[in-house]
Amino acid sequence: MTAYDSPVARLAPAYHIMLARPHDLPLIPAIELAASRLLAGLAPSSVLGETTSQFELRKARRGGRLWVGLAGDAPVGFARVVLHEAGVAHLEEVDVHPDHGRRGLGRRLVQTVCAWATSHGFGAVTLTTFRDLPWNMPFYAHLGFQPVAPDRAGAALRAVVDDETRRGLDPAQRVIMRYHA
């Protein structure tokens, strides 16, 4: 038996990351919904049922700000960046389908975004995430993101948090983080 015949080799697909292709866009909402199941009981059900509109996905893809993590040729994860303020790339969302979780794909997606931001002259990458979930704030801190005190956040980030609050997320459970590119 060779390494290629082993059960582990058959079960662990090789992942690669690339800019999203037009035919990837309709597949992204299923990844969002599957990933949101990990937050059941932690976030309002209205938020857990949200998906990014195809319009927003197309806009991000056209702007070169939407990446997919592929298993073979099938998207199983993605990262989307929005631009709210000059010089800052905001990681609006990163999701990996739970069937492909805990294999480094999320980390690689975030690192891809950070490398892109650096190479495109952005001074920072920001995001908002859950403060107390082990796969959220500590995950991003391990990748070099630092918490931003709410009173040190600019108007654009405050608007992101305000929008999350309007949608039902508890701002006390959220944290703003920044990576210096």
Domains of the chain in sequence order: 3-180 (3.40.630.30)
pLDDT at res. 97: 98
pLDDT of residue 13: 64
Evaluate whether 42 touches 6 at the Cβ level (below 8 Å).
Answer: no
113 Cβ partners below 8 Å, 6+ apart?
67, 79, 81, 89, 91, 94, 125
Which residue in this structure is represented by tokens 């700000």?
Answer: 65
Give the model's pLDDT for residue 30: 98
Whole-angstrom CA distances from 120 to 17, 69, 102, 114, 147 are 18, 21, 29, 10, 23
Task: Please give the chain's pLDDT, 181 residues, in tens.
Answer: 334 443 443 445 689 999 999 999 999 999 999 999 999 988 898 899 999 999 999 999 999 999 999 999 999 999 999 999 999 999 999 999 999 999 999 999 999 999 999 999 999 999 999 998 888 999 999 999 999 998 999 999 999 999 999 999 999 999 999 999 8
